[in-house]
Amino acid sequence: MEVVSENRSFGGRQIVAKHPSDACGCDMTFAVYLPPQAEEGPVPVLWYLSGLTCTHENAMSKAGLQEHAAHHGLAIVYPDTSPRGDEIANDEAYDLGQGAGFYVNAVCDPWKANFQMYDYVTDELRGLVERTYPVTDRHGITGHSMGGHGALTIAIRNPDRYHSLTAFAPITNPTCSDWGRKQLSAYLGDDETSWTNYDATLLLEEHGWKGDILIDQGASDQFLDLLKPESLSAAMARRRQPGEFRMQRGYDHSYYFVSTFAGEHVAWHAERLI
């Protein structure tokens, strides 16, 4: 593993590192924020999964999570959103291929050789983080848009490994959305039964989630038709799923929305992880 950069931030360390990934078959870059409390002993981890077109860098520089993580004593991990490189399969569209891994394990060519983001995030990178940094085995997960979809599906499928769950404007029902059908078809093939493992609404209806869930969604989000907040909120209500689905007046899909509610999400995770 190679340290790409390190910046002091709110008394802690904002680190970017690169490592060869077995799951993705290429070098992967990620960021990790270690709060000041990590100098004294291991701290819990909050995973932040980013949205379409993002790298590890967007949320690291714009979501403003560090201040709150330093206050509560949580580490933050910011994975990339896909494998990357000239040798890696890609598509001209912004919403397929590099920058658009959708946190799935691809089974179709040309994607399956590298697009194993589900395994990468849940297993390989988690192991690397736990071996490298002073963190505990208490992990929470959140994300924005495509990353909210990732957070919800990963947590619901792995309730023993994640102890808190929130999302910002998540893609909630990709099997029924143009942000989903195209990608699940490309990565997983045309048999839609295999898609259900990657659909937060369907997973929640079947399994629920052991804890309570916090979702924030901007009421003026320009992508409401693709995110389908009504699918997940209805599933939560039908399932009697403990949690809060908050429709925030006037907010759009940008990092100005994410940063506004970042403090409440970090506090939510801290309360459940520490």
Task: Return residues touching a second copy (CB under 8 A).
Answer: 7-11, 14, 61-62, 64, 66-67, 218, 220, 250-252, 254-257, 259-260, 263
Residue placing its CB nearer to a second copy in the complex, 75 or 88: 75
Half-sphere exposure of 104 (CA within 13 A, CB side): 30
Burial code of 10-42, b = ≥16 C-beta within 10 A, e = fewer? bebbbbbbeeebebbbeebbbbbbbbbbbeeee
**Total residue count of the chain as it appears in this document:** 274
Positions annotated as catalytic residues are 145, 221, 253
How far is CA 58 from each of CA 14, 77, 135, 186, rounded to the nearest angstrom? 13, 13, 23, 26
171 Cβ contact partners less than 8 Å away, ≥ 6 residues apart: 145, 146, 148, 149, 177, 179, 180, 200, 226, 227, 228
Residue placing its CB nearer to a second copy in the complex, 70 or 155: 70
Residue placing its CB nearer to a second copy in the complex, 94 or 256: 256
202 Cβ contact partners less than 8 Å away, ≥ 6 residues apart: 173, 175, 196
In this structure, what is the dihedral angle of CA atoms 257, 220, 97, 182, given to the nearest 10 degrees? 150
Query: Radius of gyration over alpha carbons of the chain, in Å?
Result: 17
Residue placing its CB nearer to a second copy in the complex, 194 or 254: 254
Residue placing its CB nearer to a second copy in the complex, 58 or 90: 58
How far is CA 228 from each of CA 25, 126, 175, 250, 253, rounded to the nearest angstrom? 33, 30, 11, 17, 13
How far is CA 177 from each of CA 55, 243, 273, rounded to the nearest angstrom? 23, 24, 33
Classify burial at 240, counting beta carbons within 10 Å of its beta carbon; exposed 0-12, middle 13-18, buried 19 or more.
Answer: exposed
Residue placing its CB nearer to a second copy in the complex, 72 or 139: 72
